[in-house]
Amino acid sequence: MNYWAAMSSMEIAKRTLDLIVSLSGLLLLCPLLVVVGILIKLDSEGPVFYRGVRTGRHGRPFRIFKFRTMIADAEEKGGMSTAKDDPRVTRIGRFLRRRKLDELPQLLDVLRGEMSLVGPRPEFPQYTSLYSEEEQLILTVRPGITDYASLQFIHLGDVLGNESPDCVYENRVRPIKNALRLKYVKEQNFWVDLKIVARTLARVITEP
């Protein structure tokens, strides 16, 4: 059976939108991506991109594309969560994080089929290994650039604060994010995706 025949009509519509938007976005944003890359290199030593491991669909690990917003080897020098005033974050990194510009390279992951525009935000393998039987449902769909949890925790660093951010994330944030991830998987359809994309763009554009 060929790949497209095995997909539902909703999956075909979703993947078609992913391909059109990711390819168009990368072409239109190419000048901006180049400028951001230059600023990152001028601001601190290290690569332009962060390629951390995340858990993808069906539990398959992949390396995500993000603009690097922290010092080189940041994960080895601190926890997985980023505190509100985390000293590992670079000057340009703070601006990119606040405006969510560090997420733009994930259009490459969408184009490659590792991610979708909308879907549960990809998680560290250390956390997905703790998923309950019900939470395993999250891994049946492609992770996405944005979802319900992304909207609720659009400024996650402010929620985590500066004291024990990993502990705050594991005990207070992660259960809520997983509940919202499950909500998306159970409710997903083409119109829900469009609504989430519209809300995300509105939040990023209008919030300081």
Phi, psi of 172 (to 5 degrees): -115, -40
Summarize pLDDT for 156-167 with one digit per residue, the tens.
888 998 888 889
Helical ranges in 72-189 per DSSP H: 91-99, 106-112, 125-128, 148-152, 156-160, 165-168, 174-187
Q: Give the model's pLDDT for residue 44.
A: 93
Residue 72: how many other CB atoms lie within 10 Å: 14
Summarize pLDDT for 152-191 with one digit per residue, the tens.
998 888 899 888 888 999 999 999 999 999 999 999 988 8
Phi, psi of 88 (to 5 degrees): -75, -20
The model's pTM is 0.91
Question: Where do we find the tokens 């703070």?
Answer: 94
* Statement: residue 3 has pLDDT above 50: no
In this prediction, residues 75-86 reach a mean pLDDT of 82
In this prediction, residues 130-148 reach a mean pLDDT of 96
Question: Where do we find the tokens 């000057």?
Answer: 91
**pLDDT category of residue 12 using cuts at 50, 70 and 90:** confident
What's the CA angle centered on 53, arms 50 and 57, to 5 degrees? 125
For the ranges 1-15, 31-45, 145-159, 172-186, the lowest mean pLDDT is seen at 1-15
Domain parsing of the chain, residue ranges: 10-206
User: Dihedral of CA 133/61/101/197: which sign?
Assistant: negative
